[in-house]
Amino acid sequence: MKNIVILISGGGSNMAAIVKTAQQQNWADKLGARVAAVLSNKADAKGLALAQAQGIPTAVLDHKNFETREAFDQALMQLIDAQDPQGRPDLVVLAGFMRILTLGFVDHYAGRLLNIHPSLLPAFTGLHTHRRAIEAGCKFAGATVHQVTAELDHGPILAQAVVPVLPEDDEHTLAARVLTQEHRIYPEVIAHLLSSK
């Protein structure tokens, strides 16, 4: 069985979309794959309850309990790898995991570490993407699924979805329109990667 470990920090809507797609498309039988665990750096992340309701194992590793970013990432790697019998999950999926990862972590999961970003990369890396897109006068915005590398939001692009920026949009309405596309393309990319493994 190919094991997917999903990392979240909040509501987990992208995680929920991945889990729902995995169930609807029967990834277990068709792709030999499953969401093995959902892990969070925040105990109050609402997505943990969503995962538990689907019978998916969850765990919390609070970054505040570690003196350095490196120490946290080392402990997180051990927790992630423990979710796979061979100690090597097929995919580690960042779904609203609000941590900047160390080079050692990124290298450990090279080629297996995915993220989704709410802009059309390489535009608007980092935070406040929707506000910045509106302020820049963009006619289009969107989301990008990419492999994670050491440089923030700069890894190889695997898929993008485009939405219009409407004249009446604020950052909240634009974010909601982009999010519907995130929920579509992230599971698609994961299924494609699993089918080629």
Confidence of residue 118 (pLDDT cuts 50, 70, 90): very high
152 pLDDT exceeds 90?
no
Q: Does 32 reside within a domain?
A: yes
Give dist(CA 141, CA 162) in Å, integer.
6
DSSP 160: E
pLDDT at 187: 98
CA distances from 160 to 49, 79, 132, 183 (A): 29, 30, 18, 12
Handedness of CA 1, 15, 65, 101 (dihedral sign): positive
CATH for 48? 3.40.50.170
Q: Does 172 reside within a domain?
A: no
Confidence of residue 92 (pLDDT cuts 50, 70, 90): very high
Domain of residue 46 covers 2-117+145-159+186-195
Q: Choose the catalytic residue: 117, 130, 146, 183.
A: 117
Q: Does 31 reside within a domain?
A: yes
Give dist(CA 62, CA 76) in Å, integer.
10
Q: Does 103 reside within a domain?
A: yes
Give the residue from 111, 140, 95, 146 showing the smallest Cα distance to 125.
146
Q: Does 138 reside within a domain?
A: no
Q: Does 16 reside within a domain?
A: yes
127-155 b/e (C-beta count within 10 Å ≥ 16 → b): eebbebbbeeebeebbbbbbbbbeeebeb
pLDDT at 150: 86
Quickly list H helices, 25-98: 27-30, 46-53, 69-81
pLDDT at 197: 80
192 is catalytic: no
Q: Does 71 reside within a domain?
A: yes
* Predicted TM-score of the model (pTM): 0.97
Model confidence pLDDT, tens digit, residues 57-71: 999 999 999 999 999
DSSP 100: P
pLDDT at 36: 98
**Mean pLDDT score, 36-40:** 98
73 close to 104: Cβ distance less than 8 angstroms: yes
**Mean pLDDT score, 7-32:** 97
Average pLDDT, the chain: 97
Give the count of alpha carbons within 13 A of 54, CB side only.
22
Give dist(CA 149, CA 27) in Å, integer.
27
Q: Does 190 reside within a domain?
A: yes
Q: What total number of domains does the chain contain?
A: 1
pLDDT at 127: 93
1 pLDDT exceeds 90?
yes
